[in-house]
Amino acid sequence: MSFSPRVFSGIQPSGDLHLGNYLGAIRRFVPLQATHETIYCVVDMHAITVWQEPEALRRATREVAAAFIAAGIDPKRSIIFNQSQVPQHAELAWVFNCIARIGWMNRMTQFKDKAGKNSENVSLGLLAYPSLMAADILLYKATQVPVGDDQKQHLELTRDIAAKFNNDYAASIKEQGLGTEEGQFFPITDPLIAGPATRIMSLRDGTKKMSKSDPSDQSRISLLDDADAIAKKIKKATTDPAELPGDVEGLAGRPEADNLVGIYAALSDKSKQDVLAEFGGSGWGKFKPALAELAVSVLAPMNGEMRRLLDDPATIDAVLRDGAERAGAIAEKTMNEVRSIIGFIR
Catalytic residue numbers read 114, 209, 212
Helices 124-138 and 88-97, packing angle to 10 deg: 110
Q: What are phi and psi of 219, to 5 degrees?
A: -80, -15
* Cβ contact 320:42 at 8 Å: yes
From 18-26, 30-38, 223-231, 281-289, span contacting ligand TYM (CB under 6 A): 18-26
Tell me the β-bridge partners of 237: none
Asked if 10 interacts with ligand TYM (CB under 6 A), we say yes
Q: Which is nearer to ligand TYM, 39 or 319 (CB)?
A: 39
Considering only CA atoms, which of 60, 22, 57, 61 is closest in space to residue 41? 61
Asked if 224 interacts with ligand TYM (CB under 6 A), we say no
Asked if 11 interacts with ligand TYM (CB under 6 A), we say yes
Asked if 189 interacts with ligand TYM (CB under 6 A), we say no
The residue within the footprint of ligand TYM, chosen from 100, 127, 128, 147 (CB under 6 A), is 147
* Cβ contact 243:282 at 8 Å: yes
Closest approach of Cβ 172 to ligand TYM, in Å? 26
| Contact letters for ligand TYM, residues 107-146 (x by CB under 6 A) | --------------------------x--xx-------x-
The residue within the footprint of ligand TYM, chosen from 71, 200, 224, 267 (CB under 6 A), is 200
Q: Name the residue number minimizing CB distance to ligand TYM.
A: 24
| Contact letters for ligand TYM, residues 43-72 (x by CB under 6 A) | x--x--------------------------
Closest approach of Cβ 235 to ligand TYM, in Å? 20
The three-class DSSP label of residue 190 is strand
Closest approach of Cβ 26 to ligand TYM, in Å? 8
Continuous segment of H or E residues that includes residue 71 = helix 54-71
Asked if 209 interacts with ligand TYM (CB under 6 A), we say yes
Closest approach of Cβ 83 to ligand TYM, in Å? 8
Closest approach of Cβ 19 to ligand TYM, in Å? 8
Q: Which is nearer to ligand TYM, 141 or 154 (CB)?
A: 154
Closest approach of Cβ 133 to ligand TYM, in Å? 4
Q: Which residues make up the interface to ligand TYM (CB under 6 A)?
A: 8-12, 20-21, 24-25, 43, 46, 133, 136-137, 145, 147-148, 150-151, 154, 197-200, 209-210
